[in-house]
Amino acid sequence: MCLAVPAKVLEVDPTRLRARVDYLGSQTVVGIALVGGVQTGQFVLVHVGEAVQVMDEEQARDGLALWREWLDDSEPAGLP
């Protein structure tokens, strides 16, 4: 309903509350008033020209690791 795309922050302009971001290789400028303290290198979720949330990389890693662990514990050994 609210298609939002992840984009990497390349440069932050804290006075004008804008950032240059990279989304799939193309660069655009988005507003960052809703994500105070966002830093270069972080990923943000962009909707209607505004970054609406900072993506949590640690969570992204942990989420996957958790599922892998769960599979390793529950699959009989030796199965592919």
Locus of tokens 């514990």 = 73
12: left (phi over 0), alpha (psi -120 to 50) or beta: beta
Convert residues 14-53 into a mask of x (bound to another protein by CB under 8 A) and - (unbound): -----------------x-xxxx------x-x-xxxx-xx
| The two three-digit tokens of residue 52, written as one number | 């609406």
Q: Give SS3 for 54.
A: strand
Q: Pick from 16, 40, 67, 69: which binds another protein (CB under 8 A)?
A: 67
Residues that bind another protein (CB under 8 A): 1-4, 6, 8, 31, 33-36, 43, 45, 47-50, 52-53, 55-57, 59-64, 67-68, 70-71, 74-75
